[in-house]
Amino acid sequence: MIKKYLFYLIRWQLSTPILAIVLILLANMSTVMATIIANLIGGLIFFWVDRFIFRSLSKNPLWEIRDDVTCFSCGKHGRGYRIAEWLGYDRKQDKNPQFRCEECKDKKAMEVEKRIIWSLVPYQVGKL
């Protein structure tokens, strides 16, 4: 939650100069009309930023668990885990699923989480 709050504070600070530039460009209009237009432009921009900040990145992944598999990472035989779906990461239809043992699954989960977070940034910016 603290991380989201810090992102939000940074976003709040970034909105000030952007909206100030719009107000400067609209200086020949009435103050009320320029403020309304600036806020509409701010809403168009920062809706996507806020959506990204407040998206639940901590949503739990959908795990597929199987017994009697070989860990893809270390080769250990036993119960295997794989992330089938997590936010934009979707491997439910994977023809060659990679299962990992209890020890290796956490490393893989951290790797996938980082990939998800970084993949969301261009996705959100591309939608502006």
Q: What is the pLDDT of residue 61?
A: 84
Rounded to whole angstroms, the Cα distance separating 109 from 60 reads 10
Q: What is the pLDDT of residue 56?
A: 55
Structure tokens belonging to residue 100: 């990992």
Could you tell me how far CA 123 lies from the centroid of its own chain? Answer: 9
SS (H, E, C) the chain: CHHHHHHHHHHHHHHHHHHHHHHHHCCCCCHHHHHHHHHHHHHHHHHHHHHHHHCCCCCCCEEEEEEEEECCCCCCEEEEEEEEEECCEECCCCCCCCCECHHHHHHHHHHHHHHHHHHHHHHHHHCC
The pLDDT profile of the chain, 128 residues, written as one tens digit per residue, is: 687 788 788 888 888 888 899 999 999 999 999 999 999 998 898 888 887 777 655 477 889 999 999 999 999 999 999 988 887 778 889 999 999 999 999 998 888 888 777 766 654 444 44
| Domain boundaries defined on the chain | 2-54, 62-126
Q: Quote the pTM value.
A: 0.46
Q: What is the pLDDT of residue 112?
A: 82
